[in-house]
């Protein structure tokens, strides 16, 4: 059984790999979705495109730094190799951390709410992950435990790994492994559907990105335990026999923190009878023009003024005119 070639096509005598093609496709789709969501949240195309020009490179840098830090033993003798990203070694958690850090700086410079920007990218980000995971299939990486049961040696449960390969750093002669890249791709697709379907129902800024973090972390916490190429905080065989995996521990912390935050916020708001976290700004319905949205906002402001005991300008003018006539 032969897996598809890693090479998608050849351009000007150089091989172009499926991994890069799928990453580029995921990024383009994520940018397109972020533009749509940004428009709904009254952000301009320039706001979104400029942000993407910041977070994409900062995400790549973060992905590489994250990997190199936890695999420093492989680079200590020749640190310049840390720059050779074409050799592999990019971590999704590092990409998310680096991208969010770049976005935070961008939000401060452009004076745009950080959580508003983060919510815009959440659906596109997780869909890009779903697409990008298929690059692992072509590269024959990110696979899981060996499969010895002949009845389970079929895709998508298992994936065939050609030739010599290792699992947890040890040579492995079994060619069939759990298709963990596929499990994660399907889960990310499900998370995308949830976020995209619920994006208009979130009551607070930050709900979309926090939901993404919790839902993705929940999956990664379990799937990471199945993989044989994990980064470790504590290597196996030490004080903890099975070792402590970086992504597993980080996922546990993220899921617990987000769940605790949502629960505490819910009960506080229930007790106070009001929102205690920034609510999303009023967003026009689909098909509503900017002028209509602006008129609606003016009406809303006028209603707010009346509720506060302030009289509309037109009413004050009429009263002044009436006072003049009575003199």
Whole-angstrom Cα distance, residue 39 to residue 28?
A: 17
pLDDT, residue 186, reads 97
What b-and-e string marks burial along 44-75, b requiring 16 or more CB atoms within 10 Å of the CB? Answer: eeebbeebbebbbebbbbbbbbbbbebeeeeb
CA geometry: angle at 141 spanning 140 and 143, to 5°?
105
The token duo for 106 is 């961008």
For the chain, the average pLDDT equals: 85
pLDDT tens digits, 85-141: 877 788 999 999 999 999 999 999 999 999 999 999 999 999 999 999 999 999 888
pLDDT tens digits, 308-319: 444 444 444 444
pLDDT, residue 141, reads 87
- pLDDT greater at residue 125 or residue 275: 125
Q: Which residues contact 273 (CB under 8 A, 6 or more apart)?
A: none
State the pLDDT confidence band at 77, using cuts at 50, 70 and 90: very high
> What pTM, to 2 d.p., does this model score?
0.82
pLDDT, residue 293, reads 45
pLDDT, residue 229, reads 85
Whether 326 has a pLDDT exceeding 50, the answer reads no
pLDDT, residue 176, reads 93
243 contacts 78 by C-beta, under 8 angstroms: no
192 contacts 178 by C-beta, under 8 angstroms: no
């Amino acid at each position: 059984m032969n897996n598809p070639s890693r090479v998608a096509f050849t351009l000007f005598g150089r091989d172009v790999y499926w991994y890069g093609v799928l990453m580029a496709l995921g990024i383009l789709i994520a940018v397109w979705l972020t533009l749509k969501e940004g428009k709904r949240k009254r952000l301009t195309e320039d706001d979104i495109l400029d942000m993407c020009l910041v977070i994409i490179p900062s995400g790549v840098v973060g992905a590489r730094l994250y990997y190199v830090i936890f695999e420093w033993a492989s680079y200590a003798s020749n640190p310049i190799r840390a720059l050779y990203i074409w050799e592999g070694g990019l971590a999704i958690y590092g990409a998310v951390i680096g991208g969010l850090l770049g976005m935070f700086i961008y939000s401060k410079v452009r004076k745009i709410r950080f959580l508003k920007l983060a919510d815009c990218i959440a659906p596109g980000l997780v869909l890009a992950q779903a697409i990008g995971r298929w690059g692992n299939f072509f590269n024959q990486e990110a696979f899981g435990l060996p499969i010895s049961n002949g009845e389970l040696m079929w895709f998508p449960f298992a994936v065939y790994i050609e030739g010599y390969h290792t699992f947890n750093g040890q040579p492995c002669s079994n060619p069939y492994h759990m298709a963990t890249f596929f499990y994660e791709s399907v889960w990310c697709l499900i998370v995308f559907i949830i976020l995209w379907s619920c994006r208009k129902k979130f009551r607070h800024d930050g709900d979309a990105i926090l939901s993404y973090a919790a839902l993705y972390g929940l999956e990664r916490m379990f799937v990471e335990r199945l993989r044989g190429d994990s980064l470790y905080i504590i290597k196996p065989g030490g004080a903890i026999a099975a070792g402590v995996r970086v992504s597993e521990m980080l996922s546990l912390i993220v899921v617990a923190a987000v769940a605790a935050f949502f629960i505490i916020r819910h009960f506080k708001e229930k007790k106070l009878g009001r929102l205690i976290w920034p609510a999303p700004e009023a967003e026009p319905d689909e098909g509503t023009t900017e002028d209509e949205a602006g008129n609606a906002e003016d009406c809303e402001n006028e209603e707010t003024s009346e509720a506060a005991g302030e009289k509309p300008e037109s009413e004050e003018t009429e009263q002044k005119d009436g006072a003049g006539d009575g003199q």
